[in-house]
Chains A and B, each alone.
Chain A
Amino acid sequence: MTELISSGLVRGMGIGSTYALLAVGFVIIYRATGVINFAQPALMILGAYATSVFATGVGMPFPVAVLAAMAVLAAVGMATERVALRPMVGRQPFAAAMVTVGVLTVLFVVAHRLIGTQVRTVGDPWGLERASLFGVSVAQVDLAKIVVSLVAIGAVGLFLARSRLGLAMRATSMDQEVALAQGVNVGRMFSLAWGISAALAALAGMLVGTSAGGFEAITALVALKALPVIIVGGLDSIKGAVYAGLLIGIAEALTRTYQPRYAEWLGANVDVVVPYVIMIVVLAFRPYGLFGTREVERV
């Protein structure tokens, strides 16, 4: 029972909420611009690096370092949009998505250079500390991941749903020309979407960097887990990103805990495959995702 809660559910929700955070970043850019941003992994790992520099290098208090890293990455995201994606406005979303693959390559090379080959730490205060949750000992870092992610996603969700800038962003995603006729500065909405999305990626990078003793450049590939998440949840649904993120995180953790014991014949590292198995099953029955809008086209 204890094992089920601590290394199954809580760890799973910890990882899953990080996936959710990354997935929300995808969803925001997709909703505003119709483009799937494949550069997200690079933005994430640069966010982890920035946090690491601010917290352990510069010596800022940890929360300040995290906010500073988010701000820096928001600026990187906005600059990327302005330089690489703005010229693609009006083209096929598919072409723009390919541009983001190029951006991924460029930023990833930069990240490799900056991070080097050694393992870095983000300087988080949680470490290997444990806390008691209803009498069960769980890792503090797992709780931190859940709380930080859900608070950040909640804030962004509220912004999109309630504020008029959020409304303008949604309108831009539906029809740019009509949004223009309402006086919406469409370019600014794109910029805002990339800024928010990159800031969330930075936050996710920090959370990914806390666990298993730090991060290296290749840790960026964790962000690719967000792809099955957005497909399971629905490309345009923030709610879907959260549920699907948690679902996939928990499924992964449970598999990692129990599969070697009860289904050893499946081989090693089966948990790595689990997100994609879930994705294939969902695609077969609900091709637009669990919470996605039916008409949404695929890139």
Chain B
Amino acid sequence: MTAAPDAALAEPLLDVAGLTLRFGGTTAIRDVGFGAGEGSLLAIIGPNGAGKTSILNCLSGVYRPQEGTIRYRGEDLRGMRPDVIARLGVARMFQNIELFENLTVLDNLMLGRHRHLRYGTLAALLYGGKARRAETENRRVVEDIIDFLEIQAIRGSLVGMLPYGLKKRVELGRALAMEPTLLLLDEPVAGMNVEETEDMARFILDIRGELGVTMIMIEHEMGLVMDIADQVLVLDFGRRIALGPPAQVQRDPAVVKAYLGEAS
């Protein structure tokens, strides 16, 4: 009966359609479409070179796809600058750690608060009452994230000094400091041991459960994908070959063929 609220609920946070990205004569992504509902976790899998990271780069504005639409909360992100997209609440964790190695963990997280800079340049220069209050609030959010990720012990350390697993965790923290609506994770557990992988999986589940953040995750670790993803998008040579819940995708003949080759 009440069609309008239902329709609003059904509207996904992110709706990508007809996405096509070309580099000169090479087509990296060809007519790919998918969506992500509020609070869901979409995993993107596929062989190397399938275009997974290119899709994240389109979403975050680093690449400008030639065709298609990227509707996010009713706006088309296509063609927007990366910093504008970040300020709309799209945070990102990079495949290769991209932290500021010469800054402390705390400063790296505070940088994530940049989009919540609510005072102007002049106020910042004078560091008046308004700027000071805003900074106190930002500091509180960052301290919460430090607690959440259990990195109290290293808060003052220079990031360059930290081991790999912790750096990944700090990078996740910086993305969370943005208080994002959509979080893009590019291989969050790549190169991690079993224990670190389990920690990261727990954090990702908590982020979805407690914070309700929508996530898109590229991952090669199939166990993790099957355990925590709601939907799986499978790419091969820039095309979508499957999209659905993990159990269904796992049995899809096209997926099996892409991963194991013709004979199977």
On A, residues with C-beta under 8 Å from B are 158-159, 162-168, 170-171, 174-175, 177-186, 188, 192, 293
Knowing that A164-B110, A177-B62, A181-B83 touch, tell me 20 more A-B residue pairs with CB under 8 angstroms: A159-B127, A163-B124, A163-B127, A164-B113, A164-B114, A164-B124, A165-B121, A167-B107, A167-B110, A168-B114, A178-B98, A178-B100, A180-B82, A180-B86, A181-B86, A181-B91, A182-B83, A182-B114, A183-B115, A184-B83
Q: Does B125 sit within 8 A of A, measured CB to CB?
A: yes
The interface residues of chain A lying within 8 Å CB-to-CB of B178 are: 182-183
| Most A CB within 10 A of own CB, among B100, B135, B178 | B100
A164 touches B115 (CB 8 A): no
Interface digits, B98-134 against A, CB 8 Å rule (1 contact, 0 not)?
Answer: 1111110001001111110100010011010001000
Chain A, interface SS category: helix
Q: How far is the CA of A178 from the CA of B131 in the complex (A)?
A: 24
Chain B, interface SS category: helix
A185 touches B103 (CB 8 A): no
The interface residues of chain B lying within 8 Å CB-to-CB of A181 are: 60, 82-83, 86, 91-92, 94, 98
B103 touches A171 (CB 8 A): yes
**Known: A181-B60, A182-B86. Is A163-B111 also a contact (CB below 8 A)?**
no
In chain A, what residue has the closest Cβ to B82?
Answer: A180
* A174, chain B: closest CB distance, angstroms: 5
* A239, chain B: closest CB distance, angstroms: 15
Q: Does B138 sit within 8 A of A, measured CB to CB?
A: yes
Q: How far is the CA of A168 from the CA of B101 in the complex (A)?
A: 14
| Most A CB within 10 A of own CB, among B81, B94, B125, B138 | B125
Cβ contact of A184, chosen from B99, B114, B124, cutoff 8 A: B114
Q: How far is the CA of A182 from the CA of B91 in the complex (A)?
A: 7
* B206, chain A: closest CB distance, angstroms: 22
B98 touches A175 (CB 8 A): yes
Q: How far is the CA of A23 from the CA of B127 in the complex (A)?
A: 24
* B61, chain A: closest CB distance, angstroms: 8
**Known: A178-B94, A182-B178, A186-B83. Is A167-B121 also a contact (CB below 8 A)?**
no
* A225, chain B: closest CB distance, angstroms: 27
Q: Does B239 sit within 8 A of A, measured CB to CB?
A: no
The interface residues of chain B lying within 8 Å CB-to-CB of A188 are: 121
Query: Which residues of chain B from 64 to 94 have a CB within 8 Å of any chain A CB?
Result: 81-83, 86-87, 91-92, 94
Q: How far is the CA of A140 from the CA of B83 in the complex (A)?
A: 49
B83 touches A180 (CB 8 A): yes
The interface residues of chain A lying within 8 Å CB-to-CB of B91 are: 181
The interface residues of chain B lying within 8 Å CB-to-CB of A175 are: 98, 100
* A197, chain B: closest CB distance, angstroms: 14
The interface residues of chain B lying within 8 Å CB-to-CB of A171 are: 100, 103, 111
Q: Which 3 A-B pairs have the closest CB atoms?
A: A183-B86, A183-B115, A180-B82
Q: Does B174 sit within 8 A of A, measured CB to CB?
A: yes
B83 touches A174 (CB 8 A): no
The interface residues of chain A lying within 8 Å CB-to-CB of B94 are: 178, 181
B121 touches A174 (CB 8 A): no
* 23 A-B contact pairs sorted by A residue (CB < 8 Å): A163-B124, A164-B111, A164-B117, A164-B124, A164-B135, A165-B117, A165-B121, A165-B125, A171-B103, A174-B101, A174-B103, A175-B98, A175-B100, A177-B82, A178-B100, A179-B111, A182-B111, A182-B112, A182-B115, A182-B178, A183-B83, A183-B114, A185-B83
Q: How far is the CA of A144 from the CA of B138 in the complex (A)?
A: 38
The interface residues of chain B lying within 8 Å CB-to-CB of A162 are: 127
A192 touches B86 (CB 8 A): no
The interface residues of chain A lying within 8 Å CB-to-CB of B83 are: 179-186
In chain B, what residue has the closest Cβ to A195?
Answer: B121
The interface residues of chain A lying within 8 Å CB-to-CB of B111 are: 164, 167-168, 171, 179, 182, 184
Q: How far is the CA of A192 from the CA of B103 in the complex (A)?
A: 21
The interface residues of chain A lying within 8 Å CB-to-CB of B100 are: 170-171, 174-175, 178
Q: How far is the CA of A192 from the CA of B125 in the complex (A)?
A: 11
* B114, chain A: closest CB distance, angstroms: 5
Q: How far is the CA of A260 from the CA of B203 in the complex (A)?
A: 72
The interface residues of chain A lying within 8 Å CB-to-CB of B110 are: 164, 167
Q: How far is the CA of A186 from the CA of B131 in the complex (A)?
A: 21
The interface residues of chain A lying within 8 Å CB-to-CB of B125 are: 159, 163, 165
